Amino acid sequence: DYGVRINAVAPSIAKHPFLAKVTSDDLLDELASREAYGRAAEVWEIAATIAMLASDYTTYLTGEIVSISSQRA
């Protein structure tokens, strides 16, 4: 009724300074190595999806969880 869209973003690992404060480099490297691309996502890669969801390109998309990952099968 109010034109509000509700979506969520579910990223896999994204390396950023706050994560580095609470997680060891070894663990971050191990988690990143499990990704299909062999690396963690960049923060801007997650932000780009959020920007898309907030744009007029997704006016008919609601109630979705967008998974951002390159997990190996």
Q: 14-65 pLDDT, tens per residue?
A: 888 898 899 998 999 999 898 888 899 999 999 999 999 999 999 999 999 9
- pLDDT at position 41, please? 92
8 pLDDT band, cuts 50/70/90, is very high
Q: What is the C-alpha separation between 37 and 57, in angstroms, rounded?
A: 27
Global pTM? 0.77
Q: What is the C-alpha separation between 48 and 30, in angstroms, rounded?
A: 25
**pLDDT of 73 higher than 60:** no
CA nearest neighbour of 11 among 60, 49, 54: 49
Token match 């099968």: residue?
73
Contact of 43 with 14, CB cutoff 8 Å = yes
Q: What is the C-alpha separation between 7 and 64, in angstroms, rounded?
A: 5
- pLDDT at position 71, please? 67
